[in-house]
């Protein structure tokens, strides 16, 4: 198996892990909306057993999950693009590629934990910064190896 094929295998695992983590926010949000009758859409109020039915836009836990989910989108989508290209075109060693993936995945899981519990700052910002820095490192290494002038 070539270095690129092996790296793509690790990339698929890493991308799969962070994508599944990101997808879990949908069911978690639905759980809190049903549990607390905190529906944001008029048509969903029929699911509530409350007498005083009205839309809710400021449920603290749902808003926290929504913000965490948006942060995932801002970081995981670039990882999926950059990470896949990094596996094939960066020219980096398999060890370097693997550590970039491991660090990014760990940073996103820890970021979600820090966001949802919530843990005191600077825990969340450090997790974000590590993940962002990992994406940036992959992008720079990729561009340095593929830049055509």
CA–CA distances in Å: residue 103 to residues 32, 53, 74, 95: 30, 45, 17, 12
Chain length of the chain:
149
Instruction: Look at residue 52 and tell me whether its pLDDT is greater than 70.
Output: no
Token reading at 7: 């790296």
Start-to-end Cα distance in the chain: 32
Domain ranges of the chain: 3-25+60-146
pLDDT of 149 reads 55
Q: Which residue has the higher pLDDT, 38 or 123?
A: 123
Mean pLDDT over the full length of the chain: 92
Q: Cα-atom radius of gyration of the chain, to the nearest Å?
A: 19
Q: Whole-model pTM? A: 0.90
Quick: pLDDT tens for 86-132: 999 999 999 999 999 999 999 999 999 999 999 999 999 999 999 99
Give the count of beta carbons closer than 10 Å to the beta carbon of residue 48: 17
Q: Which residue has the tokens 């603290």?
A: 60
CATH architecture of 3-25+60-146: Up-down Bundle (1.20)
């Amino acid at each position: 198996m070539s270095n690129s094929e092996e790296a793509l295998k690790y990339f698929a695992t890493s991308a799969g892990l962070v994508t599944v983590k990101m997808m879990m926010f949908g069911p978690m949000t639905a759980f809190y909306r049903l549990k607390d009758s905190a529906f944001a859409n008029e048509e969903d109020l029929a699911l509530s057993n409350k007498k005083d039915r009205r839309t809710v836009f400021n449920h603290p836990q749902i808003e926290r999950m929504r913000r965490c989910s948006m942060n995932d989108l801002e970081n995981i989508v670039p990882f999926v693009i950059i990470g896949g290209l990094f596996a094939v075109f960066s020219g980096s060693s398999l060890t370097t590629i693997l550590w970039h993936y491991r660090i990014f995945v760990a940073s996103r899981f820890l970021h979600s934990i820090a966001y949802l519990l919530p843990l005191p700052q600077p825990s969340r910002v450090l997790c974000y910064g590590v993940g962002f820095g990992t994406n940036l490192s992959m992008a720079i290494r990729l561009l340095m190896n593929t830049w055509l002038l």
